[in-house]
Structure 1
Amino acid sequence: MSLRLRHAFAAAALSFLVTGCAMQGAGVPAIDVDLTRKGPVSGVGIEGQDIVAVTDQMMRDILADPAFANTAKRPRVIIDSAYFVNESSQPINRNLITQRLLVNLNRAARSRMQFVNRAQTAMVEQERALKRAGVTDTGTTGMTKATLGADYRLSGRIGSLDSRSAQTGMMQRYTQIAFELTDLESGELVWSGLYEFSRAATDDIVYR
């Protein structure tokens, strides 16, 4: 290979490297997205605006139910993802839904409902054991005979139905999110709620 040819190859390789780096460095700067609206990256599945909408709707429905209208009673409720099942085709962190529902209800209904943190039972029992062994004092609120028993617990399911056109590549997904509050003594279903939507797109995105 001649010296001139070698220089030509070297120049071409350098040009390709510089162009690649420039393309890699180029991009869209980060932008703030309204939580209640569809963002610039969206597909046919559950997205941020859906989590905001469904938790707001379920909170309003629960607070409007007669079972939770008697402020003197203050029923005890467990809201977590332990019995909230994802059966849909989309991977999703179920805690995003149940945690937002819990936080909103805790803010809006502390005078009407008590919320039992069953997910942290081990932490509570450890502290109770330290107090009763005399390792620590009793704190400022005193000791109880037992931890709180719950009256109701949240459960639910996320389901979906997918279809795709072989001709156009268009994908459509129907998504259903169902919620239930069950009486933990009698088994009675005291409240249920449903959130559903259907979306179609030619190119879906990857959900993680």
Structure 2
Amino acid sequence: MKCRFVVAITIASISLAGCVSTVNNSRGSSSNYVDSQAVAPGVSGVGIESQDVVAATDMMLRDMLSNVTLAGQSTPPRVIVDSAYFVNESTTRINVNSITDRLRINLNRAANGRMIFVGRQNVAMIERERELKRSGVVDGGTIRKTKATAGADYRLAGRITSMDSISKTSGMASRYTQMTFEMIDLELGTIVWSGIYEFKKSAQDDVLYR
């Protein structure tokens, strides 16, 4: 009786193993690194993608560095480059920080002191540290003490807009996207520099942007 039970269990185990081995549960494909300036195979749509962010920010960087008002003064101007006044009004879903962060970081590196960048997005952190220093909780650091934090001369503003068209018969979608960049004089309100990046894409099966 005991032998029959062992044999039955063994046969069941072999049968189960055989069933499992014949089932193909593999799905999808392994991840691969893709050049951020290249079109991703199979997932390219009509919206703003990494290659557009790279191309737009590189173009704006070169143009801003060639502007005498921004990068040719004997006293480097203080500028703010963040997303506070850079708005997305297009039909593409995108985090605009990916655009302004890349522009600011690469512009700061390339400017090499010709512009001074004010981190206004970090003002809460700065004010907290200044409060700790002046209340005596911590010492004054090793660099300097100032009466106030740095004021800015110019600040980035911009807008992303788009125009869409879709064919009901073929399902073909087309989108024209326009990205505008402007540096605003924070005393006069004048525009000291402007830049624009635009493109148009078409696709039959658009992708989902997140």
Give the counterpart letter for 1:195 in structure 2.
Answer: Y
Contact 1:88 1:160 in 2 (8 A): yes
Report the counterpart of residue 74 of structure 1 in structure 2: 76
Partner of 2:59: 57
Q: Which stretch of the first structure deviates more once superposed, 73-82 or 30-39?
A: 30-39
Alpha-carbon distance, 1:71 to partner: 4.7
- 1:169 matched to 2:183: no
Deviations 1:14-61 (A, max 9, x none): x8xx75xx35x2322211111111111210010001101101000001
- Map of 2:4 onto structure 1: none
TM-score, normalising length: structure 2: 0.87
User: Distance between the aligned counterparts of 1:83 and 1:204, measured in 2?
Assistant: 29
The correspondence of residues 46-125 of structure 1 with structure 2, limited to 5 A, is: 46-125=48-127
Q: In the TM superposition, what whole-angstrom CA distance separates every residue of 1:86-114 from its partner, at most 9, and x where no partner exists?
A: 00011100000000000001111131000
Q: 1:32 is matched with which residue?
A: 33
Identity of aligned residues (%): 57
Taking the aligned partners of 1:151 and 1:130, their CA distance within structure 2 comes to 28
- Structure 2: distance between partners of 1:71 and 1:187: 19
Q: Distance in 2 between matches of 1:79 and 1:110?
A: 16
Give how far 1:68 is off. Answer: 2.0
**Secondary structure, counterpart of 1:103 in structure 2:** helix
Whole-Å separation in 1 of the counterparts to 2:152 and 2:112: 15
In terms of Rg, which structure is larger? 2
Alpha-carbon distance in structure 2 between the residues aligned to 1:201 and 1:186: 44
- Number of residue pairs aligned between Structure 1 and Structure 2: 192
Aligned with residue 198 of structure 1, among 190, 197, 200 = 200
- Is contact 2:155–2:183 with CA below 8 Å preserved after alignment? yes
- Listed as ranges, the gaps of 5+ residues in structure 1 are 1-14
Amino acid across the alignment from 1:59: L
Provide the alpha-carbon RMSD of the alignment.
1.8
Amino acid at match of 1:38: V
Given the two structures, how large is their TM-score scaled by the length of structure 1? 0.88
